[in-house]
Structure 1
Amino acid sequence: MASGVEPATFLTGFDRMLEEVAATGRRLSRDELESRRELGEQAAEAGLGLRRMVSAHLAAAREAWPASSNGWPSGRSSADCALAAVQQAVDSFAEGYERAQRQAVRQEEAARREFIDDLLLGRSDLGRLAERAERFGLRLARAHAVAVAEGPDTYEEGDAVPRRVARAVTARFDSRRILVTTKEGRLLCVAPGDEEDVLNWFAKQAYAATDGGRVAVGRSHAGPGGVVQSYEEALSTLEMAERLGFDGPVLKAADLLVYPVLARDRQALADLVVSALGPLRGARGGAQPLLETLTAYFDSGCVAAEAARRLSLSVRALTYRLERIRKLTGADAADPAQRYMLQTAAIGARLLNWPAQEL
């Protein structure tokens, strides 16, 4: 025992109470029961196990029990009263012990939540943050990457889904320095940047637990601020996937770097979209059907048959649409020299929610 405190320290007055109860037949008073609860709290705070303390109570009761008729008054009622007092005392002691444990758990949860918020928002002194991270199993001096999963519901730490995912991850990688938690209704996993298998396993478990949710993985970054960078990349990737309609269950920020680059200069991107695709507004039915045609055509590798299948059109109908786009915009999607401009504009339109939103 690290504290060096003996169980007898928390049995103060126990033998005297038993003697009085056996002699008078009275029940333990409210103050006596509360004193047992307080001793239970103190024992928990001192690090003594509950099982050990219950055993100590029973041993003390046995020792106090009279060895001859010269001790406590004889008779069944006296023994019943003594045993009832032991039961009351142990029950109150255990109540206090559990109360202290619940308080310790709440304090630990609050400290963990505060650390996670500071870690992901980057609002704490980095040196102090690195020191606190050790307590939760992270070494922020090394590089880390963050995976974020979102599903149809919002999740809080302690809910069934986060618990299931955390158990699956820690059971497989129990010796690694990993943090599985929640933030703003999403699941997330912080892992060393060179252990991609951890984040892949988290993504697989989160996808299954959220009934087909989407997972984004940020790039690996070094230092205490690296976790924030990776987390923000993962969030941006989820947002971008929603705008662009990506179907993949797992998206990696490293594979989608072109999209943040395009979105960085919003005004330039808006000018490109309006200039290249603005004439599509003049089509019957507006620009949206033709924009969807361009998106399907580019996403299918410019294979007309595949694009037609995705749009539930005949190849002839798709070809007609592409020709209509060429006439309206003056750019041919099948021409390598003009394809890049149209494709970039089509991506920009999705990023900027055009034509639903005016630019």
Structure 2
Amino acid sequence: MSDFLGTLRKQVPANARRVVELCTGDLPEYAAAAGDPREYADMLDFAVFIRRRTIELVAGDEPLTADDLAVVAATGERRGETGMSRAALRRLLTLHASATLNEIQEASGPADLPVTMRMLGWLGPQGTAAQQAYTTGFLQGQKRFLPEMAQVRQFAEMVLAGEVAAIANAGELGVRVPGCYEVIVARTPDVAKEVAAEAVHAAWRRCGAPATWFGPGEFVALVPAGQETTAVRLVSDLTEIIGGPFSVGTASGPATALSEAFALARRVSRVTRAGHLHTAADVFIELGAADLPEIDRWLHQLAGRLTVGPDLVETLDAYYRHDLNRPRAAAALRIHPRSLDYRLQRVRELTGIDPASTHGIRILSAVVSRVLAG
């Protein structure tokens, strides 16, 4: 008869010490906190507590209680108060989860498969609940020393990464999380730290939009879906702060699962021209071309042919932006309509494609977009 849970129960003290030692050896921030004997004792006590409660609850086929999760959250809050970074938090949770699986593997024998599978099934949802409680507590603890703008950036980064604990903690920042966010990705020139900080501050203070930077040239902000005026104002403010135009891509998705929308907005920002908010629907041809190197090279070859003419890319851009209206396109270019006709004829001669044909619009508009996107 299986005594798997009994075996695990006997090993709790040793397993608890082992996981604390594993974390102190892997995480300098955790090790620094563990240098305080009281902190070390708290770490060990929590490792013992969570293992004993896991065994008890698996035996009774019961979930973690509110009191259990409160203990987990309080422990996370203590780690946040010590100044541990969010990167260290993620690593800490990973180490704890890996250690638990190793302990199960070491304790299980040939007759233990049913109870082992039951425990693994319990750990899926209950482990997730515990990690969310720990992270929520951690964020509470961080508030005591983390500046507001740093909290705003961290909130944006966590939501973009799909970490739902950030949403649970949003009220502490005064954020009302909508059902859907529009992810705005601006691909900018490299900016100084002071400018980057000003951009995040302006997005938050003027537009109520959590924002952050992914590297020096990628600004990302979250605006409730449907608030186009806010999105336009945010981009306008950013243009003023940066001091010049940049390409912007947007995509919408549920606030609890934004990774796909973020990835799509990033792709759009890489193929679109500067100065306008673009969605995938605006640049779906360019997105397809960018994913096919052979097509992209062909478009660049066509673009190369246009460089021998007088401002032919600029001419095609104006022509298509004004829906093939010759007088309006000529006025935008400040040339006579006959000069516009000459340039369009030159495009036909150089590429063998009629700019006014359906075929020409599809191909040459993609050429123009790829050139203007750099």
* Structure whose alpha-carbon radius of gyration is higher: 1
Q: Normalising by the residue count of structure 2, what TM-score does the alignment of the two structures yield?
A: 0.46
